[in-house]
Amino acid sequence: MVEPIYMPVLPMRRDAWNAYAQLDFRLRRRIAPLWTLVPHSGRERTRGEPSSPDWDSDQSALDRWLTLRTDQLIEAMDGRFGWVDATHVEGSIHGSAASLWRLMTRSRLRLVTGPERDPQLQRYAADLAFLSGRGMGIRLLVDAPPDELRAAELLSLINRLCLPPSAVDLILDLGAVPDAAESGKTAIAALDVLGAPAPWRTVVLTSGAFPRVHDLPGAETAYVAQRHDRHVYGAVRAARPEFPRTVVYGDYSVEHAFSANIPHVRAPGPPWGVMRYTAPDGFMIGRVPTRGNERVDRVRAMARWITESEAFRGADYGDGEDWLHECAQGEGSKGSGNAETWIKVGHLQHMNFVMNQLIAAG
């Protein structure tokens, strides 16, 4: 297996897996996504809270929804390696059990668990990981600098699940990063306290700097946000060059770190969506309407704002750039896309660009 150099944390939604499937094969073979199954219904889940049963009373509908979603992900992954986190549906034992079994028997994905989860669900994930022969991932939510007690908790979990560290991927997840300097200190402490004590198969450091869309000022506006997640990774590499194994770079692509905590959105969806573009040190973000008489004009104007900027890499750089260029130059509604298209294009150009950055950096 070719070792991955990039782990995008992606919600298990159609726009994200279609973007991954459209990437060039040479890039996909070095990308190992962490897919998070989004909740089916109910309220937004809180980061770090234990799983709870889904609010949907129709168990057969939930089973069908999960089966379809997992089958679509298996097709998009096309036999390639990655991780899948089912924390938001683990509480619905019947539906998640069938879907996770399909993932374990029909794909090369590895399951993920974490110390904050129900011990029975941890045991079930570990048993599936053992049966698959692929091991599993431990996703640690690092919202503050960890201490020795946190390290002991991690090692206790590994011992209880009877998994050798050499078959475990350690995913250090900093979540949303509003400040690169403070998060950089947390990341370095996490690597020292949690990454060093055991011979993990893989160590991943991931965080997200893309802002929550509803936090942006104005109803429809152009906005630039800093890529703090990239700066955090750079700070860790500079501070710990002697770390005994490669630390895989991870981010949340062009989604907020809590995006996968939001339940599945049914049509028609909100009256606006977001166009996004990744610059070397920032995100270009434009909120545009999804309906109304002026929708097409505003969408194309936002595409022009992106393609006419210094950050735009040219229509030939990738499929994402090509779509944005065609949208900016086009006329009429055809080719202007919709909310799902804009997110897909955002993921596509972001993952393509990040991979090229990582390859260039060596």
> Is the CB of residue 187 less than 8 Å from the CB of residue 153?
no
Where residue 221 falls among pLDDT bands split at 50, 70, 90? confident
- pLDDT, one tens digit per residue, over 241-264 is 878 678 999 999 999 999 999 887
Residue 56 has pLDDT above 60, yes or no: no
SS3 at position 172: strand
As beta bridge partners, residue 222 has 286
Entry pTM:
0.94
Residue that is written with structure tokens 């505003």 in the block: 298
* Structure token pair of residue 43: 């309220």
- pLDDT, one tens digit per residue, over 152-177 is 999 999 999 998 899 999 999 999 99
Longest dimension (CA), the chain: 61
Where residue 28 falls among pLDDT bands split at 50, 70, 90? very high
Residue 86 has pLDDT above 60, yes or no: yes
Residue 150 has pLDDT above 70, yes or no: yes
Q: Where are the beta strands (DSSP E) in 55-96?
A: 81-85
Closest CA to 40 of 75, 98, 90: 90
Instruction: Give φ, ψ of 53 to 5 degrees.
Output: -60, 145
Report the sign of the C-alpha dihedral through residues 119, 170, 4, 341, in that order: positive
Q: What pLDDT does residue 99 have?
A: 79
Q: What is the dihedral of CA 328, 280, 217, 298, to 10 degrees?
A: 0
SS3 at position 161: coil
Of residues 277 and 37, the one with the higher pLDDT is 277
- pLDDT, one tens digit per residue, over 330-339 is 888 888 989 9
Residue 26 has pLDDT above 60, yes or no: yes
Q: What is the dihedral of CA 210, 17, 126, 149, to 10 degrees?
A: -10
H or E element, residue 299: helix 295-307
Q: Give the Cβ contact number of residue 309 at 10 Å.
A: 13
Residue 217 has pLDDT above 60, yes or no: no
Q: What pLDDT does residue 320 have?
A: 98
Q: What pLDDT does residue 66 have?
A: 85
Q: What pLDDT does residue 220 have?
A: 54
Residue 272 has pLDDT above 90, yes or no: no
Q: What pLDDT does residue 94 have?
A: 60
Instruction: Give φ, ψ of 29 to 5 degrees.
Output: -70, -15
* Structure token pair of residue 96: 């998640």
* Structure token pair of residue 281: 């040190």
What does the alpha-carbon distance between residue 158 and residue 113 come to, in Å, rounded to a whole number?
Answer: 11
Rounded average pLDDT over 220-234: 88
H or E element, residue 334: none
Q: If you average pLDDT over every residue of the chain, what do you get? A: 89
